[in-house]
Structure 1
């Protein structure tokens, strides 16, 4: 499949960004976005001393360095997607439940959606009573935004059972 690849500018040589058409071999979702494996057109010398067409394969970030060609359907390109973690799945289901007007569950087993215990998720995430309280402000994020596991949007774990840090004297 053809894809447009943006080559970076070279200020030392005075070259602006360039855009070439390359072959898209594979798409891969990563924690930070998408990367595409593309085959850039190139040339190589043969043992007989002639020059022949070749291809140089490299991974590039999309959409910064790889952009679609208008009218091309990319459904047939092999695609590696990340599986959502259990926390992200429960988060999505809890957001959908709250967004549809449902209350946050106050006990484990109180609300089960698609086999996920939203009460257990809610209690594990801090167990506060209202969406507006600090530990659940992430449930009011923009629609479709799912913070990756381990970011500041995830509530901090409870300090219960751990010793308090000693103040410096």
Structure 2
């Protein structure tokens, strides 16, 4: 019975830490987030924080792993252009349903390093799972994965920066055309 109480306290404490941390991310740049302010907002002491996390970075890594994990769970193939077109649609549709917190973490300049780590994690997984999909040597495939991973995210981040003025369907169609067909598909000579 005592174990149940302890587990519930741990759950509540981790939830308080997480909520305070997420609120701080929405309000400030990452270098401005401190354990002192986090513990004040979560209404816990520093020792309690350190029982659960080694550092603020460890807490951020937890968020990174969750976000990357959600992308990596999606089984995709890269063997045909239709697979890549579908993945772009899946990416934009998924991202359009995410919280403002994810947009901040993946689109804000002060969290660029966070996006870079998520992208490396996801694209590293994609390379492992889809090695040989393009029938090219490893170095060539690495360039293709780097292009796909970075360009898709850059286009999404620009859409967010513009206040999502294009509809989801419009931005997905434009992104798909740009990524799969290149600029010559949308820019006249």
TM-score by length of 1: 0.26
* Bigger relative CO (Cα 8 Å, ≥ 6 apart): 2
TM-score by length of 2: 0.24
